Structure 1
């Protein structure tokens, strides 16, 4: 009974690169090549695998070229297809996204405005409290004074400069 090549052995033959120089051809490679020349079933299986891989390579290259051309055509125009603008669902979604994006910004602005108003009110109340205290202290000082300031006597302009006249300097007649 003649044994056929295993799947791994057929894959090894497919993956072997014939462009690389073989420095040491081992005995196993010669046996596989001789078996492929003698066994029609194994050589047909190897040919079928090679054809399948060739067709797959051609199909993948063709598909990638087609997809590249299609993506290039889509990238050449940045505007979406015309039917996108005619659908109200897209517009509604765009409005919802816009409102959702603005919500945190307006919330932050409202909070900062409230903080600023509270700071201004605190500053105004502290200023009002200071001015109220100063006014009350001034009123208390004026009420507690014995003589109101408009009624106080004028300061003596000759204060401390009194002249001493001697009686000896006076003339007698």
Structure 2
């Protein structure tokens, strides 16, 4: 018995897609990448450590752990002061795949460490779904609040052209008696 939805999907390669399967997980990676790009428009120019501060909200901390040509590994967290220690919650380590436009959670600590995933086995798709779905919702919440990591406007001296009349300018600045 085919439902109208099944008929609509047939012929598009979607009839065998498991909603919690590998193909859907890759789609979630792409959506997470798009949300991160809205949060961090230019990841390549971001300093190794950045904080997004908003009045009345927790500060969102982003740290670059590794940069390569095709990937960037970073951590995202809030910090809480608890007695005499600083607790990061949630603490997610994610990898950005620039060439594939995907973002994947590598490790995650949720609920004050009660759920720790320091190493996710390759075939643990259920855990990957849980962490990446959490990331999807958290990034959406951060965007809703207005968090963002803009790149500061630092002038790039390599692109600036010196004026043609530099000798005249220097001559005006230098005292004639010197």
TM-score, normalized by length of structure 2? 0.26
The structure with the largest alpha-carbon Rg is 1
**Structure of higher RCO (CA pairs closer than 8 Å, 6+ residues apart):** 2
Greater strand proportion: 2
Greater helix proportion: 1
